[in-house]
């Protein structure tokens, strides 16, 4: 019994650490801008997303200690009493109709959450608003309306998304909030629609 709880604690600690490390990665990507940290493109390749999360964990611990401690909420909606992060339930429905229910910490983007739960959501530009591969369809209009309107930049990328619908959003721009608890997100079917011409199929 004791073993089980300590294992759960360890798992929870790791997921918290991962959550903050990946969040730092995204924030630094979006705010600082890629170009300032990029050396000559031909000289070296950027560290991969997963590899740098450890580095950012270290960086996060060094420079943002206050973040690490202060954003933990005291409200506990998780069944497991040892977890300190508030999470919401999100269901991903893949193109074959298979559903996967996951817990997403508040403040995490749907793209990050998908990657952490091995859901096949592409993220070619890793959340920089430079592609449309993390396109998700919000299945219920009520949840879609709870989201903030997409920015011009997001709309520019949505223009190019395949299987675009009225309730389409980019997964990297949908951030988990309390009011999104229970949201269902569909992964668009890979259609043979290769023309970048704004063809909009009917939502399904």
Partner 1 sequence: MLKRRIFQSRRWLCRSFSSIIHSEPVRVCVVGSGPAGCYTAEKMLKASQQAQVDIIDRLPTPFGLVRSGVAPDHPETKIVVNQFSRVAQHERCSFFGNVTLGSNVSLAELRKLYHVVVLAYGAESDRSLGIPGENLKGILSAREFVWWYNGHPDGRNLDPDLKSIDTAVILGQGNVALDVARILLRPTTELATTDIASHALSTLEESSIRVVYLVGRRGPAQAACTAKELREVLGIKNLDVSIQESDLHLTPTDEEELKSNRIHRRIFELLSKAATSRPIHAGLNQRQLRFVFFRKPDSFQESKDSTGHVSGVLFEKTVLKGVGPGKQIAVGTGEFEDLKCGMVLKSIGYKSVPVDGLPFDHKKGIVPNDKGRVLSDTSDTAVLEEGLYVCGWLKRGPTGIVATNLYCAEETVCISPFSIHIIPITVKLTEVANHTVFMFASEFLKLSLS
**Closest by CA position to 175, among listed 78, 81, 65, 88:** 88
Task: Work out whether 202 is an interface residue with partner 1 (CB under 8 A).
Answer: no
Task: Work out whether 149 is an interface residue with partner 1 (CB under 8 A).
Answer: no
In DSSP terms, which residues pair with 170 in a beta bridge?
Answer: 135
Shortest separation between residue 47's beta carbon and partner 1, angstroms: 8
Residue placing its CB nearer to partner 1 in the complex, 87 or 133: 133
Among 129, 139, 147, 175, indicate the residue that binds partner 1 (CB under 8 A): 129
Task: Work out whether 46 is an interface residue with partner 1 (CB under 8 A).
Answer: yes
Site for partner 1 in 152-171 (CB under 8 A): 152-153, 155-157, 159-160, 162, 164
Residue 79 and residue 158: Cα distance in Å, rounded?
Answer: 36
DSSP 123-180: -TTTTSSS--TTEEEESSHHHHHHSPPPPHHHHHHHTT-TT--TTEEEGGG-B--GGG
**Closest by CA position to 175, among listed 89, 88, 109:** 109
C-beta of residue 167 within 8 angstroms of C-beta of residue 137: yes
Residue 143 and residue 156: Cα distance in Å, rounded?
Answer: 22
The two three-digit tokens of residue 173, written as one number: 């721009």
Among 5, 140, 191, 204, indicate the residue that binds partner 1 (CB under 8 A): 191
DSSP conformation class of 50: H
Question: 99: helix, coil or strand?
Answer: strand
Residue placing its CB nearer to partner 1 in the complex, 103 or 169: 169
Residue placing its CB nearer to partner 1 in the complex, 148 or 153: 153
Shortest separation between residue 185's beta carbon and partner 1, angstroms: 18
**Closest by CA position to 189, among listed 126, 131, 137:** 137
Candidate segments 85-93, 96-104, 111-119, 150-158, binder of partner 1 by CB under 8 A? 150-158
Task: Work out whether 118 is an interface residue with partner 1 (CB under 8 A).
Answer: no
Task: Work out whether 38 is an interface residue with partner 1 (CB under 8 A).
Answer: yes
Task: Work out whether 81 is an interface residue with partner 1 (CB under 8 A).
Answer: no
Shortest separation between residue 38's beta carbon and partner 1, angstroms: 6
Q: Which residues make up the interface to partner 1 (CB under 8 A)? A: 34-36, 38-42, 45-49, 122, 124-126, 128-133, 152-153, 155-157, 159-160, 162, 164, 190-192, 194-200
């Amino acid at each position: 019994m004791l073993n089980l709880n300590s294992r759960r604690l360890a798992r929870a600690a790791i997921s918290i650490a991962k959550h903050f490390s990946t969040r730092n990665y995204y924030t630094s990507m979006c705010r600082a801008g890629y170009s300032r940290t990029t050396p000559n493109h031909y000289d070296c390749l950027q560290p991969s997303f997963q590899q740098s999360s450890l580095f950012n964990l270290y960086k996060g611990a060094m420079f943002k200690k206050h973040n690490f401690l202060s954003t933990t909420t005291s409200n506990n909606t998780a069944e497991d009493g040892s977890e300190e992060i508030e999470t919401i339930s999100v269901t991903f429905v893949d193109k074959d109709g298979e559903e996967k229910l996951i817990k997403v910490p508040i403040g995490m983007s749907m793209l990050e959450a998908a990657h952490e739960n091995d859901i096949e959501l592409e993220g070619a530009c890793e959340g920089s608003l430079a592609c449309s591969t993390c396109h998700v369809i919000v299945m219920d209009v009520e949840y879609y309306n709870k989201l903030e309107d997409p920015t011009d930049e997001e709309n520019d990328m949505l223009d190019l998304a395949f299987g675009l619908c009225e309730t389409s959003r980019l997964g990297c721009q949908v951030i988990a909030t309390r009011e999104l608890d229970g949201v269902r997100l569909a992964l668009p079917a890979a259609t043979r629609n290769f023309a970048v011409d704004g063809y909009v199929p009917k939502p399904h």
